[in-house]
Structure 1
Amino acid sequence: MTKAVRKTSNVPSPTGMEQAFSAFEDSPFWPLIMVAMNGMSLGTAGSLVAKHATNYQFKKIFALIDELNRRIDSSLAEPGSEDFYAALQVSLNAVLETQSTQKAGLFASVLAGTWSAQFSKWNEVSQTLRLIRSLEDVHINILREALEVHISADGGNATFSIGTGGFESSARLDEVLTHIDPMLLTSCISDLISSGLLNDSFESSSVARFSGGSVNEKPKPARLAYSISPLGIWFLKKIADPEFTTNSSAPLAN
């Protein structure tokens, strides 16, 4: 008996670019995406030499385009603000630099604002994009939880801490974000403080951070407590993060 031979298809699987064309060719911003990608040497003959690398890049770009496609006003044939073009270029480059699973949505939120707005403030758009680009998912998660603490205080100066080093009233962030190593939390909080997105100064006295009762007494470290800063609240408003939810109806006031 002759054994049947299974025929294999010689049709290659679609590339990332072909999938993007198929999914978004009717979107009003797709031509702008193509112009921006060509400027980055994506979609050209040179980049197609390394097919796997190009497909890897397109997976990230696809995520950004998909998020943007869900957010923009499709009734507009072109962006309301010229800031969209520059913001798109920044965003495309940034998503290629990261493994973040959240950044595509954050960049898309900013881009959607420049698409719909007739007038936008480029300095604010640029600063927001720069902050998104500099932060990882864990930083955003910490800011979200810090905002929850702020809202729960109902206008008060609520703080949070890692471990028991904060005030008695400080919320324990390490007990909320239990999937993140406390040392990583501490490191990321330091990043957020240096960016001005968190506060860490709550001592009532004018004494320096390490102080003692007398010259013979060993220095005592100040409380390690933190709170979201006005800049942190401003940033979360700018990214209009759709994944952030709170059980409180309190406004995100400074």
Structure 2
Amino acid sequence: MILLIDYGNTRLKWRLVSSAGIEQEGATAEGPQALQSALGNFGRAVTRVAVSMVGSEQAMAALSNTLERFTTAPIRFYWSERMRDGLRNGYVDISRMGADRWHAMLGAWQASRAGVAVVDAGSALTLDYIAPDGQHLGGYILPGLQMMRGSLHRGAARVGFDDTVSLSTVPGTNTSDCVNHGLSWLNVGIIEHVERDVTDLGLQSVVVTGGDAERLLALGLKGEHRPGLVFEGLALVDQAEAAP
């Protein structure tokens, strides 16, 4: 079995895959230590580990140390690349692109082979545009919903509000509604920009992933929800690199 790991800024997600398909998957905000309790019984069955991550060398070492406690399988870390399978990275310095963004783009590209907008609604909201010929046209990085909400909590102490999920964009009549409706209002503005860019750039589709993907879709973003998009791209790279 192959253990795929997507280690982001705030959550660590995993997917255990066999020849029969997905055996187990999950996510945690507790870091690598949660992996051993969740996957320890599968340790001997894991034949290799593939990791897509953003973070420090210290976080990378902590993950490796945890994995080595319950499996002897080789661990491979995969980063952003200049080119893969017809997809060409638009970054001048590819080392500055997060691995999760690259693998999400790969997952979207290999599924469609057409112009696509990739929206990853995680702790940061990333938007990437891929032309029909596979050229990455660039993108945007914006604060995600939780990051925006957290910044208001920390930076505006007198703005007290409840963390409620609201899809309403009407003007609020109390502080909580002003904040939560305002966040939805901002997201609707982002959605309108994405849809305009898709038309202007001649793209064929929108693919949405990340923890807040369903919220964007509920607010009107027209796209395909692929929760495991990073895993799809990571598996593509690992299969090619691990081939004899």
- Say yes or no: TM over 0.5: no
TM-score, length-scaled by structure 2: 0.29
Higher share of residues assigned strand:
2
Q: Which has the higher contact order (CA 8 A, sep 6+)?
A: 2
Higher share of residues assigned helix:
1
